Amino acid sequence: MAGDTGWTGEIAGARNRFLRWDATAIVDEIDRFEVPLMLASGNGGPPPASGYPTTGDELPAAPPVVVAATLRRAQAFRCRPGEVVRFTYGAVEGTVAAGDDGAVTVPSLSVGATPEVLAIDREVATDR
């Protein structure tokens, strides 16, 4: 029923539908996490109706696509809530703070069809 779980009844697309990562190239260490990110697009067709996603594996827009990437299921690289980490993605670099649950989200990554490594490193704390 609309409204009981935050769903408004609007038709929505699919989360992470075209985002891919190379699981064989992941680096998951205490002080560093790396994952190659890329877009996948394949055969498919236009949306069946307004508000619906495309059919099959057709990418609905020309690459690149801007995404917010959140690390999930890291085994060694875990952050404390609010911990600041440094990231690089191609020529883009910056810092982000882990959320209240320790999850790290890197906003506004421009992902294309060619794999690019998202690397996240712990900041060097001055109090260690």
* Token duo for residue 119: 């690397």
More confident residue, 47 or 1: 47
Q: Does position 126 have pLDDT exceeding 50, yes or no?
A: no
Could you give the CA distance from residue 126 to residue 11 in angstroms, rounded to a whole number? 48
Average per-residue pLDDT for the chain: 87
- Check residue 23 and give its pLDDT: 93
Q: Does position 1 have pLDDT exceeding 70, yes or no?
A: no
Mean pLDDT of 108-122: 96
Q: Is 52 helix (H, G, I), strand (E, B) or coil?
A: coil
Of the candidates 71, 95, 99, the one whose C-alpha atom is nearest the C-alpha of residue 85 is 95
- pLDDT band at 75, cuts 50/70/90? very high
Burial 42-55 (b: 16+ CB within 10 A, else e): eeeeeeeeeeebbe
Of the candidates 43, 26, 49, 22, the one whose C-alpha atom is nearest the C-alpha of residue 111 is 22
- Check residue 5 and give its pLDDT: 66
Global pTM reads 0.81
* Token duo for residue 27: 């680096």
- Check residue 128 and give its pLDDT: 40
Domain ranges of the chain: 19-122
E strands, 16-122, in order: 19-21, 27-28, 32-39, 44-45, 55-56, 65-70, 84-89, 92-97, 105-111, 116-122
- Check residue 39 and give its pLDDT: 92
